[in-house]
Amino acid sequence: MAQFVLQRAMHASVVLVVVSLLVFCGIYAIGNPVHVLIDPRSSQEVIDQAIRNLGLDRPLWEQYLLFLRNAMEGDLGNSYVHSRPALQVILERLPATLELIFVAMSIAVVAGIPLGLIAGSMGERLPGRALSNLSVLGFSLPTFWVGLTLILIFSIELRWLPSGGRGEVGALLGVRTSLATSDGWKHVLLPAVNLSLFPMALLMRLVRSGVIEQANMDYVRFARAKGLSSTRILIAYIFRNTLIPVVTVMGLVTGGLIAFSVVTESVFAWPGIGKLIVDSIRLLDRPVIVAYILIVVLVFTAINFATDVTYSIIDPRIRLGGANR
Amino acid sequence: MNWKVVFREYSRDITSLLALAALSVALLLAIFASVIAVQDPYDLTALNLMDSRLPPGSIGENGLYHLLGTDDQGRDVASAILYGLRISIGVAVASGAIGIVLGTAVGILAAYLGGWADAVLMRIVDIQLSFPAILNAMILLAVFGTGLLNIIIALVAVQWAYYARTARSAALVELGREYVEAAKSLSFGPMRIMFRHILPNCLGPLLVIAAVELANAIALEASLSFLGTGLRVTEPSLGLLIANGYSLMLSGHYWLTIYPGLALLILVASANLIADGLRRAFISRSAVAVDHG
């Protein structure tokens, strides 16, 4: 067990270093940030001065080593555009994204699990099939398309909800969040629904297939023979046994939403890290791009690591499989 | 593999059949876009500014019937959608074809070789799949720049790992079968065993993934183009049409966004429904296959 954890931890750190190297070299190839950040009409001295200040005059490998050493100390360079530490710029935007993901995930759980239970208990009958086909839409509709449709319906036609922005931000339990004000809730609703469709569809399908799988088990037949109502069997017996994969997938999907929020945030002008990265790519704000990718990679690697370890605790066969197939 | 049985199982669901029909129609429309379209939407001499922003169903100065209206440059939206379909489908199919060849080769090779080669290859796959596709693609496009070729490269890079993982797990199952042992004892070469014996038996799951990935590639390209990090304006896919229309949506020219959006929706949804139908068909087929040994 300890060996497995250690091995996975080593994998994870290798991934981080490789990704940082790839990203750093790759981003260098995007273009020359000098042309983007400095007014080309300014005099040569001003340009040289700026290049020196940004450290762009050193050799590539030296820039990388410097970057790696600083990264260990939590210093990922200054944003060219914001003239502040890149890490700080990202951390400032992070609460908005987390808040969006939190609301989206809550909507997904509250709607997706009951729908999955209903669809599963219907089995192959028409309503079950229909719900299952409907959930395909949740996967297949491009997020930006759904976002635009939501704006078109609820902001432009009905004028019920604002089409973008974060709204008023208040303090809740010492955290500054839009969830503390009614205006903030109005703003978060549309993007959160938009973001929730994918996890909702995923949860629904997962629960549905779990219910169908469990429905033929002996313990279910026994419960039915005892004369328990089908609702009680569904909730107290079957649902419990579908929970393990559901919880695992929820962990992974929550991480995935960080990436999906890129699209949602851009459509709804939500000031989170997703919009930040799109803007940074357009403006070639190298330190922010690198810091963003490293943070997201860190989060993902941590989540994957946790999942691997959890699995190996639940199912020891996983530890033995793999390498020696 | 008994394709007749697969098709019979597939046809049992009406939705799957409708999806197959819809995708076939879209494919035909894309192939014959230049014949069906009332005008070449990117021939600037054919555009008339007097015809700009006509609502759906109106007739322009030059006597053309604009079924879905025109955009701000007097371009026929229906024609633009047909040409957009061509680009969207073309990009997705090209990247899918390269991805499936590359990924399957890697997957079967990893399964056959085993040992450290397998471990290294699958670790690369794991690393790649631990990041969401859109993030991978955006990083690659940020590095290589936008444009048709680069987005195909990015989509291949995103997709190959799914095929590799699927091919490997299918090949691992096949490797344990007796026919592989028989082929080995006849001292057939590894290439022949891998690609003439094992590969045909892995096609089922690969086909399902191919349908899923077709949908994903179309949606991903559209999202990236919409964000402005995908195709260039000179290569107007459905995503770009939607993005262009979006800027005019607030002023009531809804048809510029809605119709390309609907085309994208039908395309992606039908590919996903086909994948669903195939999955069901293959599950019932393998149930049959087990009965016969």
Average pLDDT over residues A294-322: 71
The region that residue A142 occupies, defined by phi over 0 for left and psi between -120 and 50 for alpha, beta otherwise, is beta
Residue A55 tokens, joined? 């450290």
Residue B130 tokens, joined? 């631990």
Q: Does A29 contact B257 at a Cβ distance shorter than 8 Å?
A: no
Which chain A residues have a beta carbon less than 8 Å from that of B219?
140-142
Asked whether the predicted pLDDT for residue B97 surpasses 90, the reply is yes
Q: Residue B104: name the closest of B169, B164, B173 by CA.
A: B164
Q: Does B222 contact A149 at a Cβ distance shorter than 8 Å?
A: no
Which chain A residues have a beta carbon less than 8 Å from that of B145?
30
pLDDT score for B126: 80
Which chain B residues have a beta carbon less than 8 Å from that of A301?
130
Looking at the complex, does the CB of residue A289 fall below 8 Å from at least one CB of chain B? yes
The tens digit of pLDDT for each residue in B161-177 reads 999 999 998 888 888 88
- pLDDT cut 90: percent of chain A above it: 3
Stated as kind and residue range, the H or E segment containing A170 is: strand A170-172
Q: Residue B161: name the closest of B136, B144, B139, B198 by CA.
A: B136
Q: Does A262 contact B138 at a Cβ distance shorter than 8 Å?
A: yes
Asked whether the predicted pLDDT for residue A27 surpasses 90, the reply is no
Q: Does B272 contact A148 at a Cβ distance shorter than 8 Å?
A: no
Q: Residue B1: name the closest of B272, B256, B201 by CA.
A: B201
How far is the alpha carbon of A244 from chain B, nearest alpha carbon, in Å? 20
Q: Does B269 contact A293 at a Cβ distance shorter than 8 Å?
A: no
Distance, CA of A238 to CA of A117 (rounded, Å): 9
Query: A153 to each of B45, B266, B272, how far by Cα in Å?
Result: 36, 20, 25
Residue B275: closest C-alpha in chain A:
A136
Q: Does A11 contact B254 at a Cβ distance shorter than 8 Å?
A: no
| CA-based R_g, chain B, Å | 22
| CA-based R_g, chain A, Å | 24
Asked whether the predicted pLDDT for residue A182 surpasses 80, the reply is no
How far is the alpha carbon of A172 from chain B, nearest alpha carbon, in Å? 32
Q: Does A296 contact B135 at a Cβ distance shorter than 8 Å?
A: yes
Q: Does B246 contact A148 at a Cβ distance shorter than 8 Å?
A: yes
* End-to-end Cα, chain A, rounded Å: 18
Instruction: Give the residue, A33 or B178, on which the prediction is more confident.
Output: B178
pLDDT score for A31: 56
Number of C-beta neighbours around residue A314 at 10 A: 11
Looking at the complex, does the CB of residue B246 fall below 8 Å from at least one CB of chain A? yes
Residue B203 tokens, joined? 């096609």
Label the pairing between strands A175-177 and B65-66: unpaired
The residue type found at B146 is T
pLDDT band, very low/low/confident/very high, at A35 (cuts 50, 70, 90): low
How far is the alpha carbon of B84 from chain A, nearest alpha carbon, in Å? 16
How far is the alpha carbon of A3 from chain B, nearest alpha carbon, in Å? 17
pLDDT score for A180: 66
Interface test with A, best of B112, B124, B135 (most A CBs within 10 A): B135
Looking at the complex, does the CB of residue B88 fall below 8 Å from at least one CB of chain A? no
Q: Does A301 contact B246 at a Cβ distance shorter than 8 Å?
A: no
Which chain A residues have a beta carbon less than 8 Å from that of B273?
133, 136
Quote the pTM value: 0.79
Query: A31 to each of A187, A281, B149, B228, how far by Cα in Å?
Result: 36, 11, 18, 17
Instruction: Give the residue, B42 or A276, on which the prediction is more confident.
Output: A276
Residue B252: closest C-alpha in chain A:
A156
Instruction: Give the residue, A183 or A91, on which the prediction is more confident.
Output: A91
- Out of A23, A148, A289, closest to residue B261 by CB: A148
Q: Does B261 contact A145 at a Cβ distance shorter than 8 Å?
A: yes
CB B114 within 8 A of CB B107: no
pLDDT band, very low/low/confident/very high, at B276 (cuts 50, 70, 90): confident
Q: Does A30 contact B246 at a Cβ distance shorter than 8 Å?
A: no
Q: Does A142 contact B268 at a Cβ distance shorter than 8 Å?
A: yes
The tens digit of pLDDT for each residue in A141-164 reads 788 888 888 888 888 777 787 777
Which chain A residues have a beta carbon less than 8 Å from that of B242?
144-145, 148
Residue A144: closest C-alpha in chain B:
B223
pLDDT score for B288: 45
- Out of A23, A282, A289, closest to residue B228 by CB: A282
The tens digit of pLDDT for each residue in B205-228 reads 898 899 989 998 998 988 888 887
The tens digit of pLDDT for each residue in A98-133 reads 889 989 999 999 998 888 888 887 766 777 777 877
Average pLDDT over residues B231-235: 74
Interface test with A, best of B130, B256, B272 (most A CBs within 10 A): B130
CB B194 within 8 A of CB B200: no
- Out of A15, A143, A259, closest to residue B127 by CB: A15
Asked whether the predicted pLDDT for residue B269 surpasses 90, the reply is no
